[in-house]
Structure 1
């Protein structure tokens, strides 16, 4: 198995390269007159689309209020589902749920690394 630091460094280098390529691409698009004209046309159409949507949305105001309430309920229930699954996992219990078609679902946990501060950079400068 590879060293975790080596893999971490490789990911950071790949992300830097990815960022550079995307920057070059964006700059090329910005220098294209045809692209800029298309963007202007697109913005005009987007504004027209928003006006049409707003006119229709005003007819459905009560439904959109209900939609917002449902969205909040879903977010709350997803947090609750995660908490319940984590509690069962900590207890060593198996975790599985089923949908209406009897498809089984199991939780997926992931690990992310978050930068905790510039401490490492300061230590490198001292060396």
Structure 2
């Protein structure tokens, strides 16, 4: 089995290579006049699109308020579901869920590292 430091270093090296390739690609795009022209046209079209979206969004003001409330409710319910599942697992009990169609669900846990 490989050492955790060796894998970590390999991930960092791969990320650096990805960054270098993406940077070279971005530089090549910035030097293309055709790309610049298309990007400017795209910017104008995006502004028009945003204007139309805002006009229609103002007509749906109450629906968007309801949408925001539903979004908050989902976040809270998902957090509660995770907390209950973790508590149940910590008690040594199995965590099993079935939806209305009979599909089985099981919890998935992951570990991530962040710089401190």
TM class, shorter-length: over 0.9
Q: Residues 68-122 of structure 1, C-alpha deviation per residue, up to 9 Å, x if partnerless?
A: 0001111111111111111111111111222221111111111111122xxxxxx
Number of paired residues?
116
For 2:112 and 2:52, locate their aligned partners in 1 and report how far apart those are by CA, in whole Å.
42
**TM-score with structure 2 length normalisation?**
0.95
* Residue 12 (structure 2) aligns with: 12
CA RMSD of aligned residues (A): 1.0
The SS at the match of 1:65 is helix
For 1:56 and 1:74, locate their aligned partners in 2 and report how far apart those are by CA, in whole Å.
25
After superposing on structure 2, the runs of 4+ consecutive aligned residues of structure 1 that deviate more than 2 Å are none
Q: Residues 27-59 of structure 1, C-alpha deviation per residue, up to 9 Å, x if partnerless?
A: 111111111111111111111111111111111
* Residue 101 (structure 1) aligns with: 101
* Residue 35 (structure 1) aligns with: 35
* Residue 80 (structure 1) aligns with: 80
Gaps of 5+ in 2: none
* Residue 52 (structure 1) aligns with: 52
* Residue 91 (structure 1) aligns with: 91
Gaps of 5+ in 1: 117-127
